[in-house]
Amino acid sequence: MQVSDEVTYIVMDLEWNFPMNKFRAVRGDKTIFNEIIQIGAVKLGKNLENVDTFNEIIRPQYYTKMNPKVIEITEITDETVQKGRTFQDVCDEYLKWCGENFVFFSWGANDIIELERNMEFYGMDTSGLPDCYDLQVIFDDQVTMDGRDNPLNYAIWKLGISAERCHDALNDALNTAEVLRRMDLSDGIDGYEV
């Protein structure tokens, strides 16, 4: 399947930090449970080839000490995030990088939810966020048909994809793009409710 000349497909993945316990999540009149620390994305061309990537570490402003569970999974350390820029700066740059007319693809529904929550938490306008298609649902509809939310590493294994290291936002976006190329996107998008 080819990408429409009118719409750019962006495959995105996010990594986030969270408080050591849920009672430390409240911040005044706003609450944030997951603070985004990395945005990774792949921009696809007309033939679904990778034409550009976006990869930025974000310096957390609230959960400045990395949760040990997050370090274990992502290998993103306190030292790594301290070199990052603020969420607002990175998110503004990311959305400009996406272009004028685009849609998101992600593995699971959490990434778009957390992007929107973080933007709202930091007082950013979310009205311009595009539709986001959950490739996990499309994969289930077309490959496993078992009604389960299979993890990305299962899809990689099932489709015989040579994968990048998981739990790095850019690598997961690259891996998700590989899965996307093996799906019938016309059928997947037509049957999808956003």
- At 63-79, the pLDDT tens digits run 899 999 999 999 999 99
* For residue 5, pLDDT beyond 80: no
The domains of the chain are located at 8-190
Residue 18 pLDDT grade (very low, low, confident, very high; cuts 50, 70, 90): confident
- Identify the DSSP state of 140: I
Tell the CATH superfamily of the 8-190 domain.
Ribonuclease H-like superfamily/Ribonuclease H (3.30.420.10)
Q: What is the pTM of this model?
A: 0.91
Does the pLDDT of residue 25 top 70, yes or no?
Answer: no
Determine what percent of the chain falls in helix, strand and coil, rounding each to the nearest 5.
40, 20, 40
pLDDT at residue 2 in the model: 45
Q: What whole-number distance in Å separates Cα of residue 64 and Cα of residue 49?
A: 36
Mean pLDDT over each residue of the chain, to the nearest integer? 90
